[in-house]
């Protein structure tokens, strides 16, 4: 009789444990539907403090922790430039840090100096006119794992089906939500200098290799290289034109020479955001903002992407 009672107790505890795990997974967003939409963004131009990372995206947790420990009340941001299914993990590039200011408000010099003291660099992102966006609950550390496996595939499918050129991929951690944003315009302005420099070096290696194969074309290759750099990644004025969604999805500013493995590969060329049937509601269930409306600012409570891990 005591054995049956013990087995029943073990079975009850096992069932209780399973129910607890299911409840925890549900609270983390396991059962939350992923709605992807296109339209006007809910964020304005932002200034960020970031560190550039090359390697597996799963190893960026330390950068999140470092940036949040400097100023916990600021929102965290990550910008991913390479598709992890198309690029070897050790070559994936991203920028991770904190949002220092948004809109017309400039970050204080003291805050900038504080982040620079710890090796962070400062960069500004514009407010894109149209984006592909989605949200996911951010309630536990498991939420990040679930978002990686649910939201990104949904974004890939949405972009591919509509043949959009939407890149790079931004993650903004705001209170209990993770906002995923893929610009449909001015994409070049979201590439930090380190990414542009690596692309420039890759172009140089390719051009040098081609020049060695065909020695007679060396002068031609040199001329083409100089033209490419003139209108290259450092020009924000040209990026809005050359990186429009109707441009080739191979590149970010000069499609023949840029990396073939960025998030721009997820979409096909030919579609522009003007052709989209934009949804009537924003990612938070609010009406889409018109061109004359003032975007909503996001104010983040003290939290980090590693919360609840302790």
In tens, the pLDDT along 156-188 reads 999 999 999 999 999 999 888 999 999 998 899
259: nearest Cα among 131, 83, 53? 83
pLDDT at 196 over 90: no
pTM beyond cutoff 0.75: no
The alpha carbon torsion through 188, 66, 156, 31 (nearest 10 deg) reads -150
Q: What number is the average pLDDT over the span 204-208?
A: 70
Q: What is the rounded CA–CA span in Å between residue 60 and residue 80?
A: 11
pLDDT at 10 over 80: yes
Angle among Cα 185, 190, 192 to the nearest 5 degrees reads 155
Q: Percentage of the chain surpassing pLDDT 70?
A: 65
Which tokens belong to 183? Answer: 């610009």
Cβ atoms within 10 Å, residue 213: 8
User: Could you tell me which residues are beta bridge partners of residue 76?
Assistant: 98, 173
275 Cβ partners below 8 Å, 6+ apart? none
Which tokens belong to 297? Answer: 């600012």
In tens, the pLDDT along 105-158 reads 899 999 999 999 999 999 999 998 899 999 999 998 899 899 989 999 999 999
Report the SS3 class of residue 196: helix
């Amino acid at each position: 009789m005591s054995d049956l009672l013990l087995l029943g107790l073990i079975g009850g505890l096992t069932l209780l444990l399973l129910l607890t795990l299911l409840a925890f997974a549900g609270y983390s967003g396991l059962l939350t539907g992923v709605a992807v939409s296109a339209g006007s963004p809910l964020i304005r131009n932002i200034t960020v403090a970031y560190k550039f990372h090359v390697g597996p995206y799963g190893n960026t947790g330390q950068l999140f922790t470092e940036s949040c420990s400097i100023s916990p009340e600021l929102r965290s941001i990550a910008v991913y430039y390479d598709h992890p299914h198309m690029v070897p993990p050790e070559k994936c590039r991203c920028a991770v840090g904190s949002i220092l200011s948004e809109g017309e408000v400039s970050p204080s010099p003291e805050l900038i100096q504080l982040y620079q003291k710890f090796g962070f660099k400062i960069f500004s992102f514009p407010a894109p006119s149209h984006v592909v966006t989605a949200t996911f609950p951010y309630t536990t550390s498991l939420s990040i794992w679930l978002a990686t496996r649910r939201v990104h595939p949904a974004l890939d499918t949405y972009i591919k089906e509509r043949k959009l050129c939407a890149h790079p991929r931004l993650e903004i951690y705001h209170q209990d939500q993770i906002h995923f944003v893929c610009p449909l315009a001015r994409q070049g302005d979201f590439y930090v200098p380190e990414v542009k420099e690596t692309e420039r070096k890759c172009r140089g290696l390719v051009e040098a290799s081609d020049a060695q194969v065909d020695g007679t074309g060396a002068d031609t290759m040199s001329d083409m290289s100089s033209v490419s750099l003139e209108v290259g990644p450092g020009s924000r004025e040209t990026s809005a034109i050359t990186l429009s969604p109707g441009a080739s999805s191979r590149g970010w500013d000069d499609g023949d020479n840029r990396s073939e493995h960025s998030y721009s590969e997820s979409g096909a060329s030919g579609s522009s955001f003007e052709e989209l049937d934009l949804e009537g509601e924003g990612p938070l269930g609010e009406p889409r903002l018109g061109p004359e409306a003032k975007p909503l600012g996001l104010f983040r409570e003290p939290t980090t992407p590693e919360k609840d891990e302790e």
